[in-house]
Structure formats: C-alpha cells, structure tokens
Chains A and B, each alone.
Chain A
C-alpha cells in the first residue's frame, strides 16, 4: 500500500464545512497536485476538532501543526511554505491571548490541555468515511471480542461495572438499562440510538456522528447483542444532513465488512440498523416521545411506567441510548471498566462532552473528565470571558438547565452536583454569560423556547410554562410586581414536580435558579423598574452624564422625538417623560456622556 509521508487533516464537521471547508480541501488538493506531491501528501477530511471558534481548522502531520481560520486562498501558501519548504505559516497559527505566543501544536493549547477524549477519540483523527481508518484505531475490535468471547450477561456486567451513565440528560446507569431490557423476554427487541439533539447550541451528538459514525454503530451492535435485539434504529433529526450522510456511508461499509447483517463475526448474531428521521422537536429527545415519533405518531411522551425496556417500539422491549453514551462503549469494552472508572468523580465516571458557548473566548466542543470544575472549563479551556468583561453566570444542561453564579464555579461537574445546585447535566450545553446579560431576560428567553417546544400534552407544561413566560414578559416590560416574583416561584415549583416528562419537569429551572441566585436583579426590575444590564428595552433610561457632556448639541439634533434640550456648551437634559429609549443619542454622542 502506498504510504504518504504527510497527512493534511481538514475538519469536515458542519461548522467548518459551512465556512468553505469543502473548497479548502479542493484547493489544497489542487495545489499539491500542482507541486507534484500528490503521491506523498494525503488530504484527509476528518470529524470536528472541537475548536469551532477558530475554524476552519486543518492539521498537518506528522509535524502536528495546527492551523486555524484557514481560507481556501491560504492553500497555496500552506503548500508552498509548509509542505514544500517545511516552514510554518505563522499567521495561521493559534495565538494564545494571555501570553501572546503563537502555538504550533494542539497539545500546547490551553483549549486542549485539560481535555480527555474518549467519546471524541477519533474526531479530528480519522476519516469518518473510511472504515479502515476506524479499524486501525481498534474499530470493531470490541464487537469482535464481545461476540466471540463474552456472554450477554458478561457484557452487561462489564458495562455496569464501568458505571457509565446516560449522556443524554437523565444520567441513568447504561448497564442497568441494558439489563432491564435483557430481562424482559420477548421474541423481538429493539435498540435505538437517540440522535435527536435538541438543545440550542449543542452539537456533540452531531459531531460524533459526523466524525466517528462507526463507533456508534459498533456500540449499538454490542448493545443489541447484550440485550438480545437484532434490529436497531438511529433516530436522527432530518436537519443533520451531513451526519445522516456519514452514517449512511458507515452503514454501507459496515455491511460490506460484515459488522452489520447476518452471522456477524461468524456467530449466530444478526443485526441491522435503520435510520428514522425526526422533524426536530426538542421533546423527541425524551425516549417515549422518540418512540411515538418513530412509530409515526405525534412526538409526545407517555407516562412512565411502562418504561421502554418493558414496552417500547411497537410495544416491544426497547433500549434507547444517546449517541455520546454509545461512543463510550467500545473503549470501555476494550480497556475495561477499571480504566474507565479511573477517570471522573465518585459517582460520575468517565468524561462528558460539552458544547461551550456564549461569552467565552474559546467557543467549541470539548470533552472533559467528570469532576473538573466549572471554573476550569470556563477560564482554562474556554479562555475566560470575551473582551475582558466580567463573568456573570453559566447555564448548564441546555434550555432547561439552571443559571449558576461565580460563587458556584468551583463546584465539580457531575450529575449529582449540578442537580444539587439547581441545574443539571442535560445533554451538555454550557452557555456562559457576562455582565451585559440580564438574567430576567435570559430566563424569559429560555421560557420562550420551552413554551414553544412543549408538546402540549400535560397541563403544567402546556399552560404553566405559558403563564411563567407571560409573567416574565410583564417584568421585562416594567409592569411586574413583587407578587409576580412569588407567583413565578410557586408556579415554577409546581411545574417541576407535576409535569409529565423531563422537559416539563426541568423547564422552570432557568426561572427558579435565576430567582434564587439573582433575586436582586429581579427586584430591581419590579421595584425600581430598572434593568441593571440595560438589556430590557422598556426599562432603559437614557441619562446625560453631566461631567462628560460638553454641550455639543449633537444628541439633541439626532433625537427623533426632540426630548433633549440644552444650550451650546452647556450640559444637556433628557426629558424622561418623552424619551422613547431608542438609543440614538447614545450612539451619536462622541463624549460618552449618555448612559443607559
């Protein structure tokens, strides 16, 4: 086989692809061909590197040089300088903002330093469309081992011993879930991969499917063998076309190699996978809603019990696990539960992938060991708050997680701890907010989301969340009262304990947690009709800062309602009665003399 002396890995995740990733690949190939190096240099498209903030990303091996924000027009220089002459293209290297030094290698970058990659182990390393590369990274070895050397009970015990918990949000023991499904005897059972990633801004499942689809297929086959199923489904939202395409290619290849189909590894085990498309409803991440949707019904949850393990898809025992959970399975099988349990905290083992977003410097996809503190994630990996602003809150767990304050940042990230402090692990969204964010407005934003995404089945979620949202609108419009704060809390708590599914049970979290940790900010809104962050338009108050005003009259001239008065070279005045808070004066002022 032809050996290439150098590999250029180009991120082919959705994020980088959307920024001309495809053109970069084409251009690199063209330049390499032009230099007549195409027999020595291989251009490989891989899965997401995670550092999406700085994408598109390419990595050149074996030098292990990491280039960021690459454009198709850079290809020429990369080939001429790096490939031909062995010189780094300095301007495309990552510059560490704190030490102002350009770093060549991924491992030296703070963004990667504290990460531990299990689920994302192959993302950014292998070509997801080439099964051989997956096999080279021990792919399908775990399946082979399980089928030829282990009993169903042994597989389940191994997974139970690893203490792996569901990465989709609930945190239920994966091994135990498998055991429950295994115990329910039936002539037909199903295994399902939940790829209905619904949290806004979260893309860990998508990245795994795009970057390492075989790991999910392999794990599903292992799970199917363990529980006694011969049919699997991947439930994926139709708006993930790239993930679907890669998954389809992977399925074809796995079939060709005999990892899917009949008599896998020469045993009596048969297993096939089918893709089911979701329409992108948030609630379809809930397993019973997902099953309803798979059956062609309305995407809404059922009361549990019965659990899917007893009665799921077409009333047959069904095991539903999340993409990230599956991605952990093959390494656990190969390296053993002891290895896995070394990583993580006491009750939460292994790693968790987070989609780090919001006001941090390094936005992206990260995989960290459980037990790492929020502070480490935000300040070390995330590189701290953007533009030197002050940290205000971090929201974990997607739209129904809670907002946590500075004082809680030293809490280790694990299932129990996050729940204890009023948030949750969820599927791994992490949104950082700074002092410019209004917490009432944030709560309102999330409620708008859950209100829209509620399936409408149960009363507390359908009407309760609507009422919560309405009260929050009222407060941000300056019409709130102290009683409203009381009502928010009572109603929120009721929705939490009496809703039918996890969506409703967690939907008031943003309200309850902000009420708890940012009560003063709410009070400012209802008592002083003031939004301290200046976000709530109705509560904005434009005022002249006397010591800065030079009396240039510019503000008075731009004011559309003529509510600013003052003589030339004298301090001006804004008539609050008539001011419509449009902000035109603030924008126009050259002396920073208008505050809001």
Chain B
C-alpha cells in the first residue's frame, strides 16, 4: 500500500514513518545516528548495496535474541528498537575491531587517507586498541591495468564494488572468491584486471570505502613532465571537473570553480591551459555531420555516441556484433590531443614530439583509453597522461596553492574558446542535446530559438524523446549506467529499437558521477548538484551551440576543411574491434 505509515519506537521515542523504510531510514529520520559501512544507497541513481555484511549497524529489536542490521531490516508496526544499548555498542565496536585486525595500518601513507570510510568509522567509535590480533590477508597487488589498482589486503568485503559491477553496470567482472577468512573480491580465477573485460568505468573505485580499489596514480608522471625543460606541457580539463573540484577544497557541492582551476593549473606550471570543451565542440561538428550523413544516406541507425571510453569498451566486449553502431568519432579529449599535436603545433610552431598533453578527467577509463593504439597518431599517443579530478586536487595541495584564494583566470587560445553545448557533455543527456542543437539548425536551416531540450534532461536511467525536425520525428534514446545501456543494446539487437540516435554514458549521472571524481561517500545529492552546476554554466555562456564556436570555425576553415571530410576522418575518427568476453 502506498503512503502507508508505520509507528515504531527508537531509543524510547515514538516515530511514524513510511512502511517501506528500513530501520536505518527510520533512525535517520528520528535523528538517531547509526554508523554504517557496507551500506550504500544512491537513491536517484538507483544503486543500493544492502548486503548487510559488515555488521556495523547492528541494533537491538525487542523480542529478538539476536541483533539486527539496521540497513537491511524492514520496519514493522510497533517495533521497539534500541541503538544505544551496551550489547549493540559492543557488537558494533567489535565488528570494527575485527575488520581492523585484518587491515593494514599504513593509514598515513594510504591513498585514501582521510577519505577512508573505515578510518572515519574507527575514529567515530574511538577505537584505541585492536584486541583480537592474528593472521592478516596477504594478497598480491593487482597493478596490471592502466586504470585501477586492486589491493585486496584493504578490502573489507562490503561488496559495493560487486553491486556496482554486476547489478548497475552488468559487467560481471568482480565477484567474491575463496571462502572463509580467505574470501576476497576479484575477477573469475583471480585473473589480472588487464586480462578481463573490465571497462574501467571506475564505479567500483567510486564506491569503495577503503583503498582496496583506487585509480592508478599518474601524478608523478605529470610532475616529471612539468619539470622537463624540453617538454611543452599543455593541459586540458573535462567539463565535469569544474563543477566538482571545489568539493576537495571544502566548497559546497555544485560550486563552479572554472576560473580558479585555470589559475591553479597555470601556477602548477603548465605551458598552456586549454579546455576539453573545445574538443567537445569539435566532436559535435563531426558527430552531428555523421548523424546527418547516416540519416540521409541510409547509414546504420541508430547511431550511438562514442565519447565514453568505458562504454566503447563495453560494446566491444559485450556486444561485439554491434561495433558498427557507435559513431566513429574519437572522444573529445583524444580529438583535442590530436589537434594540439597537429594544428596547434603548426600554429605555435612547436615540434609535436616535444608536446606533452595532460588530460584532467573525471574518469579512470580515460587512462586506459589514452593507451589505445588505434587512437595514436604516428605511433605517438595523442594524449600522454591522464589524471583524475582527485589527482589534480592532490597536486594543487602538494604545490601549496591556496585554491580558495585564487583569482579567476581564462583558458588559453587558440584552443580555449568553448560553448554551452560542450559544457553539458559532462552530464547524462548533454552530448545528445549538444548534437541536436547543431543538427537541428543544419537540417532545417532555421535558427533554433530555444536551445534547451528539456525532454532530454533528467536522472532516469533510460530516457527517450522525440524531436521533430523538418516534419520528421527524430527518436532519441538516452541511457546512463551500463546496465541501462545493455537494455538499450538488447533492444537494438532484437530490432525492437526504433531510435535514430542514442547517447550512452557508462557512469550513473554521466561524467559528473565518474570514477575519478571526488568521492560522494554515498550521497547522491552531490552528483545532482554537479549536474545543476553544469546547466548553470551552459546558461551563462554567450555561445551555446558548437558550430558557432569561432575558433572551431577557424580550425575547419584554415586546417581541417569540411567536417567529416578527408582530413577530419584521418585525424578525428577511429574504429572499434570485437573483443572476447572474459
């Protein structure tokens, strides 16, 4: 029954809450804090981890001899719950002590120091000694991949990564292995990550409470490049960075820090500070043209966007028969890398061999993407180093820059002008909206009065909309989260899908919820605020359509020629290869 309410007592106080609540929800509403560890509920992003495995949130329920996990216990009418009895407190503390007895104590030098949920919990419960000591897990470190590092010694078996990998992303890479004390999480047969079909979407990293799963740290490589006098080091920042970076400097979620970010990057010593948004505008030029080409010349429909490397890897491994549906466009930061080592190098008269391109990405899959050989130009990686939002913040802190006091500065040129269309690339629905803003005008030769396509926005996992262009209905599908993407692909495969264009982003929420972003620690509101900020940044832009970006027009006029033309094809497009599913 909807809207049904239930009365229960928590620590002596009566409270009335909706029937579908758990004990944890009810306690939170009653202002009673119950510590949790394995639990995770990203409400609107539809990711819930209710394994009830850590046994930290144990409470007493009257009439039951055993304690109950608050996070997974549904409420009943007249239930009497105590969260503060000595029995509950002792059990909770002992659970944390047991976890700590099997956890390395190298917190001082741990990648997750001060970001670790286990550390926070130990602090909160004032654990001062670990009574039960004994054998601790010793597994080998998995550093096989370009994107993530797996250190099972730090795993507390909350299984959030499994939920993310299997239920949300449906990749099925991570699973619990072995039994008893030696239980661990990893791919089947404990294969190195590199040998699996992992897409490196990084959602496991995003939800890992400890440092069992982290990104590969490329900060030292960036320092080396910056300190190499022979190198001309340029940096580009993805749209989603500017609305999230502030969180790591104690700013509120949704703060827009574009100017401070540019300023900080200059202070770090980058020779040029550019914007991946320029690459995004370039992508629209190519992708919109490709879409029109496919629409008008009977090409393969629907066309799927290809900005997201995790998504590209997903289709190669999981739907090898459908590798002809994604757009052949390289992703924006790779396009940017190519253009900077060709057009820009020519324009600024720099030897391309000396240019180092660093991308700041909200994503760890971009690290693996940059290493894809098919994206390379003359055997040279277009993008040399990829670091995440978190790694950038670490550099700024290490350099002693007082981020909050920085003045606002602008991006460099000639690759610095951007539009509102490219800004919204960072959120689900943004890429396809940007595409439509351009495609509409090109197809109709009319001016688009309202560039905001509200029907394409939102947080629903799968959305669809119809945009009438020239009397023809263009059907658009949007999915974020690979599980939702899978559903759309199944529909395409079975012929059920009638879409013309589909946008897919691997991470729930899009790049704003990426695996390289500041940890949301289970708070989905943070991700939503980043989205709001992106739309705000878009609104503030004078030019909001990619094909009206003056520097883009200049690039085509003076260098590339026609969008989707010969040179554009050579530089800005790629191909996909069917791969084995492991």
The reply, when asked whether chain A contacts chain B directly with Cβ atoms under 8 A, is yes
**Given B53, B54, B72, B94, which contacts A494 in the complex, CB threshold below 8 Å?**
B94
**Given A305, A453, A500, which contacts B180 in the complex, CB threshold below 8 Å?**
A453
Decide if A456 touches B183 in the complex (CB within 8 Å). yes
The digit string for B175-219, where 1 denotes a CB below 8 A from any CB of A, is: 110111111000000000000000000000000000000000000
Decide if A459 touches B99 in the complex (CB within 8 Å). yes
Decide if A497 touches B65 in the complex (CB within 8 Å). yes
**Contacting residues, chain A, for B255 (C-beta < 8 A):** none
> How far, in whole Å, are A453 and B182 apart by their CA atoms in the complex?
11
Closest residue of B by beta carbon distance from A460: B55
Whether A451 contacts B95 in the complex (CB less than 8 A), given A491-B132, A497-B65, A499-B55, comes out as no
The answer to the question of A498 belonging to the interface, with a C-beta cut-off of 8 Å to chain B, is yes
CB distance from B491 to the nearest CB of A (A): 22
- In terms of DSSP, what is the predominant structure of the interface of chain A? helix
The answer to the question of B347 belonging to the interface, with a C-beta cut-off of 8 Å to chain A, is no
Interface hub of A451, A463, A491, A494 (most chain B Cβ within 10 A): A463
The answer to the question of B135 belonging to the interface, with a C-beta cut-off of 8 Å to chain A, is yes
CB distance from B42 to the nearest CB of A (A): 19
Whether A458 contacts B53 in the complex (CB less than 8 A), given A303-B72, A453-B179, comes out as yes
> How far, in whole Å, are A454 and B179 apart by their CA atoms in the complex?
6
CB distance from A190 to the nearest CB of B (A): 22
**Contacting residues, chain B, for A505 (C-beta < 8 A):** 66
**Contacting residues, chain B, for A281 (C-beta < 8 A):** 179
Closest residue of B by beta carbon distance from A464: B98
The 3 residue pairs across chains A and B that have the minimum distance between CB atoms? A456-B183, A303-B52, A463-B98
> How far, in whole Å, are A20 and B98 apart by their CA atoms in the complex?
50
Closest residue of B by beta carbon distance from A456: B183
Decide if A459 touches B98 in the complex (CB within 8 Å). yes
The answer to the question of A530 belonging to the interface, with a C-beta cut-off of 8 Å to chain B, is no
**Contacting residues, chain A, for B65 (C-beta < 8 A):** 497
Whether A456 contacts B182 in the complex (CB less than 8 A), given A462-B157, A491-B94, comes out as yes
Whether A462 contacts B183 in the complex (CB less than 8 A), given A467-B134, A497-B87, A498-B95, comes out as yes
The answer to the question of A470 belonging to the interface, with a C-beta cut-off of 8 Å to chain B, is yes
**Given A298, A459, A465, which contacts B55 in the complex, CB threshold below 8 Å?**
A459
Decide if A466 touches B180 in the complex (CB within 8 Å). yes
The digit string for A481-497, where 1 denotes a CB below 8 A from any CB of B, is: 00000010011001011
The digit string for A372-405, where 1 denotes a CB below 8 A from any CB of B, is: 0000000000000000000000000000000000
Interface hub of A451, A457, A459, A471 (most chain B Cβ within 10 A): A459
Known: A459-B99, A491-B132. 14 other contacts (CB 8 A): A298-B175, A305-B73, A456-B179, A457-B51, A457-B183, A458-B52, A458-B55, A459-B55, A460-B95, A463-B181, A466-B135, A471-B132, A494-B94, A496-B66
CB distance from B362 to the nearest CB of A (A): 32
**Given A303, A465, A491, A497, which contacts B67 in the complex, CB threshold below 8 Å?**
A497
Decide if B91 touches A494 in the complex (CB within 8 Å). yes
Decide if B74 touches A305 in the complex (CB within 8 Å). yes
> How far, in whole Å, are A465 and B180 apart by their CA atoms in the complex?
9
The answer to the question of B472 belonging to the interface, with a C-beta cut-off of 8 Å to chain A, is no
Closest residue of B by beta carbon distance from A305: B74
Decide if B53 touches A463 in the complex (CB within 8 Å). no
Closest residue of A by beta carbon distance from B96: A459
Whether A457 contacts B74 in the complex (CB less than 8 A), given A462-B157, A463-B102, A497-B66, comes out as no
> How far, in whole Å, are A451 and B182 apart by their CA atoms in the complex?
10
> Which B122-177 residues have C-beta < 8 A from chain A?
131-132, 134-135, 156-157, 159, 175-176
Closest residue of B by beta carbon distance from A499: B55
**Contacting residues, chain A, for B94 (C-beta < 8 A):** 460, 464, 490-491, 494, 498
**Given B51, B131, B132, which contacts A303 in the complex, CB threshold below 8 Å?**
B51
CB distance from B579 to the nearest CB of A (A): 24
The answer to the question of A131 belonging to the interface, with a C-beta cut-off of 8 Å to chain B, is no
The answer to the question of A199 belonging to the interface, with a C-beta cut-off of 8 Å to chain B, is no
**Contacting residues, chain A, for B87 (C-beta < 8 A):** 497
Decide if A460 touches B69 in the complex (CB within 8 Å). no
Decide if A456 touches B95 in the complex (CB within 8 Å). no
The answer to the question of A146 belonging to the interface, with a C-beta cut-off of 8 Å to chain B, is no
> How far, in whole Å, are A427 and B437 apart by their CA atoms in the complex?
68
CB distance from B136 to the nearest CB of A (A): 10
The answer to the question of B58 belonging to the interface, with a C-beta cut-off of 8 Å to chain A, is yes
> How far, in whole Å, are A467 and B69 apart by their CA atoms in the complex?
22
Decide if B157 touches A500 in the complex (CB within 8 Å). no
Decide if B101 touches A467 in the complex (CB within 8 Å). yes
**Contacting residues, chain A, for B102 (C-beta < 8 A):** 463, 466
**Contacting residues, chain B, for A457 (C-beta < 8 A):** 51, 53, 157, 159, 176, 183
**Contacting residues, chain A, for B91 (C-beta < 8 A):** 494, 497-498
**Contacting residues, chain B, for A416 (C-beta < 8 A):** none
Closest residue of B by beta carbon distance from A419: B65
> How far, in whole Å, are A457 and B178 apart by their CA atoms in the complex?
11
CB distance from B51 to the nearest CB of A (A): 7
Whether A463 contacts B183 in the complex (CB less than 8 A), given A303-B50, A497-B91, comes out as no
**Given B53, B72, B135, which contacts A459 in the complex, CB threshold below 8 Å?**
B53
**Contacting residues, chain A, for B181 (C-beta < 8 A):** 451, 454, 456, 462-463, 465-466
**Contacting residues, chain B, for A305 (C-beta < 8 A):** 73-74
**Contacting residues, chain A, for B134 (C-beta < 8 A):** 466-467, 470
> How far, in whole Å, are A303 and B176 apart by their CA atoms in the complex?
17
Whether A467 contacts B66 in the complex (CB less than 8 A), given A452-B179, A455-B179, A456-B176, comes out as no
The answer to the question of A163 belonging to the interface, with a C-beta cut-off of 8 Å to chain B, is no
The answer to the question of B90 belonging to the interface, with a C-beta cut-off of 8 Å to chain A, is yes
> How far, in whole Å, are A66 and B53 apart by their CA atoms in the complex?
53
**Contacting residues, chain A, for B74 (C-beta < 8 A):** 305
Closest residue of B by beta carbon distance from A300: B176
> Which B43-89 residues have C-beta < 8 A from chain A?
50-56, 58, 65-67, 69, 72-74, 87
> How far, in whole Å, are A43 and B178 apart by their CA atoms in the complex?
47
> How far, in whole Å, are A303 and B68 apart by their CA atoms in the complex?
10
**Contacting residues, chain B, for A462 (C-beta < 8 A):** 157, 180-181, 183
Listed by A's residue number, 26 A-B pairs whose Cβ atoms lie within 8 Å are A281-B179, A298-B175, A300-B176, A452-B179, A455-B183, A456-B157, A459-B95, A459-B99, A462-B180, A462-B183, A463-B98, A463-B101, A463-B102, A463-B132, A463-B181, A466-B134, A467-B132, A471-B132, A487-B131, A497-B65, A497-B67, A498-B66, A498-B91, A498-B95, A500-B52, A500-B69
